[in-house]
Structures are given as C-alpha cells and as structure tokens.
Amino acid sequence: MPELPEVEIVRQSLNKKIKQKKVKKVIVRNRNLRFTIPLNFTSFLKDKKIIKVQRFSKYLILCLSNNSYCLLHLGMSGTIHLVNKDKKNFMTNTSFYSSPRLSLKHNHVEIIFKDLKIIYNDPRRFGFFQIIKDGYLLKKRFDHLGPEPFDSKFDQKYVYFFLKNKEKNIKSFLLDQSFVSGIGNIYANEILFLSRINPTKKARLLNKKDCKKIVIYSKKVLFNAIAKGGSSIRDFKNISGTKGNFQKDFKVYQRDGLNCKRFKCIGIIKKKIISKRSTFFCNTCQK
C-alpha cells in the first residue's frame, strides 16, 4: 500500500497535470470498489474544473470549482495512469507495487479532460472514490483520523499523553491512523530505528525524550522520502515516469540478517511480525 510520501508525490504530479482543467467526461466501468461508486458520480464531476489537487494522510482530494470535492484512496493495489489523448501509450506511470503497463481489465474509472485523461486501475478493488459536497463535510470525513506528522498538533506533548498508560507496543501505534495519519509499515520501521526505540516496546514505557524523538524523526523520514520521490518497491513511478529513490536510504526495512548501519553498532537487523506486519529492527541499538 502506498504511504504518505508516495501519495504526496502523486498529488504533486497530478496537480501539475490537471490543475485548472475542466472535466469533459467521466466513464465508470465498475462501481464495485471498496465502497460502491454513487450513481451520480459522473454528473457530479462533469463540467467541473479541478481547482487543485490536495492530500490528507493517504487520501487524494480533487478540489472542484463549485466548492465540492472528490476523494480518492488507492487502497492496496490502486494506481493512477495518465494517458495523453493523441498518444497510444500503454506504458503509463504512477504505478504502486505493480507493473507500469496499463492493464485494461482493471480500468474502473476514467476522468477525461480536453487533452488527456486519468485512469484508475485497481485489481484488488480496495481503493475507492467518494464525493464530498462541501468543506464542512470534508473536515468531518477525517474526524476519525489523527494529525499528520507534519501537523503542529503532532508534538511531544500530544504523543506523550496519547501513549501514556497504553499497553500496546509503539510499532502498532505508529500504524494506528487514529494516533497519527499517513505513516505506514515502511516508514514506521525507519522512524523507530532513528529514534533508537525497539518496536516491541510498550507505549506506556516511553518517556518524554522518546516521544520527542518520534516526532522529530517522523517528520525527518517523511520529508526525506518525499524529497527523494518516495520508495520504489516493485516499480512505483510518479507521473513523469521517475522512480522513487528513498529505498536506497533504508536503514532497517527489508535488511534482516544484515549488519546495522549505525556507526560503531555491532548489531544485526532482525525481522519480527508485529500486528501482522513485517517489522525490522537492530537487536543491539534499539532499546
């Protein structure tokens, strides 16, 4: 599943390509995604201008000219493909965890503009579209989610008091979207390594210094991942066709059995399943 950095890269790319463009036509080939696409979806988008493309957590938000919104979540296998009108190009971009080749079988939605179209392709169909009629409902839609790591609300005080007296391990909390939005498995591993915190450590045992490190490194890791175009695991590309490079900076993720990269640490990277997710950590410097 794409995490916050990868979704942000797609947002930036889409914003460059479709900002201020009017939707000419919408084709829905399969309404049966994670949530059924509403019957009025095509009329809701048709003839609306895309003012800009925003993001919250792992959600893409198409801001429309009538002050309404179209929400898109890519789920596990959803990909967005950009196709220029005058080019018969089946090698398209923005592919997460899949081939960049456009497979017609799973093309569920097309949003067509004058000179290009974006195609939503999703073999597993865990992604979804939602229409949101105004800003109030958009804000309400995200009420169940915690702040993003970049939000000023995500500070040492918030983290410390949220985790206080909690029995669950810290790795599980970093994946808990009601605690902090947008962090997924890859980046949770990297954040905990830089913080020198063992992923199995109970949240209630973290002190204020630990909480401060989690805040600092959550921001640092995600900023760096965005700057390097996200993490290319099995061919993620942005709309310009460029692969992400953050995977070259992984300190622990998928490095089980290898030596720790921390200076003078003699530890070995171990792998353990936590909350049904593969977890990687140094057996020496993460306490």
Q: What's the half-sphere exposure (Cβ side, CA atoms, 13 Å) at 136?
A: 0
Q: Report, as residue numbers or ranges, the catalytic residues.
A: 2-3, 58, 277
Q: Torsions phi, psi of 50, nearest 5?
A: -80, 105
For residue 284, how many other CB atoms are within 10 A of its CB?
14
Q: What distances in angstroms separate CA 92 from CA 117, 144, 272, one per listed residue?
A: 12, 34, 36
Which tokens is 113 given?
Answer: 């503009």
Phi, psi of 277 (to 5 degrees): -120, 145
Q: Residue 109 in contact with residue 37, Cβ under 8 Å?
A: yes
Q: DSSP label at 247?
A: G
Enter the tokens of residue 149: 């790591």
